[in-house]
Copies of this chain bind each other. A is one copy, B any other.
């Protein structure tokens, strides 16, 4: 018997397909709401059904247009709070601004923390998210955060290929732990890309491959593909180092600047495996791109949060 009254799932305008898929998993209809902009570019929100004391889950990845989607989400949370929702869980399949998580230069923001505070200020009481760029972002919140991971999903898919002589390649140091996790699951060794500035001129960079990759099938791992720039450099570097075939695995497919096109143009790159934490626009629909859905993952987590069941047990 769940501790909270009826479960309700609502979607912002960022990714209604995912919210609907989650509701399908849960066997409930998507909650009714109006979310739109007035002529003066002001966002407006109205819930079209009573949510008093309901256990409300609001779904919004921070996809393009990022600031719009964040502001809209904050406004939805405010409306839910003032409408006497019993509990408000912010479901954020993709958390943007995650790379702005420390001051590594003077006088810059820590936007990932700022966003956490904005969500709490608006009225979010819990967060449910997937594969944060850095786990420490959990600590930017003082409300409970359930971070799910799509790694088992990706690993299972890649594992089924039974690749011969594979090596898992982390695109940078930040991706190393994630890459090791996948490497351990498919029983492969690890290599890591190192980007280094050369000389006094800030602009020139070299890209080193640390570890053995020659004559191997590389499974390149990152948490997020944005412009694909560093991924393409990685692909090129690996090609030069005698890699025979390449696969890319990544949870969040931002894919700005025609990333999909540029990536899939490379011959040795056989497949780009992503998930639907972000909307799967037409630009991402390419024969070499495989999309795995996180809807069952998120649906199951919502079911467990609502019912007071363990989330940890999902990953044992």
Contacts and interface: CB of A to CB of B under 8 A. Distances in A.
Interface of A: 3-5, 38-48, 50-54, 64-68, 70-72, 74-76, 78-84, 86, 96-97, 99-114, 117-118, 121-122, 126, 134-140, 142, 144-147, 173, 176-177, 180, 183-184, 189-192, 194, 196-197, 208, 210-211, 226-227, 229, 254, 256-257, 304-305, 308-313
B107 A47 contact: yes
Contacts of A191: 210
Contact of A40 (B52, B106, B108, B227): B227
B173 A50 contact: no
B196 A180 contact: yes
Contacts of A40: 64, 66, 96, 226-227, 254, 256
Contacts of A103: 82, 135, 138, 145, 147
A181 to B, nearest CB: 10
Contact of A139 (B45, B48, B110, B312): B110
Contacts of A86: 3, 308
A102 B138 contact: yes
A203 to B, nearest CB: 15
Nearest to A211: B210
Copies in the complex: 6
Contact of A137 (B136, B138, B310): B136
B79 A118 contact: no
Nearest to A197: B184
A139 B102 contact: yes
Contact of A138 (B79, B110, B192): B110
B42 A97 contact: yes
Of A75, A177, A183, most B-chain CB atoms within 10 Å: A75
A46 to B, nearest CB: 5
A305 B52 contact: yes
B111 A51 contact: no
Contacts of A139: 101-102, 110, 112-113, 136, 139-140
Contacts of A97: 42
B190 A84 contact: no
A3 B2 CA distance: 11
Given A40-B256, A51-B107, A67 B78 contact: no
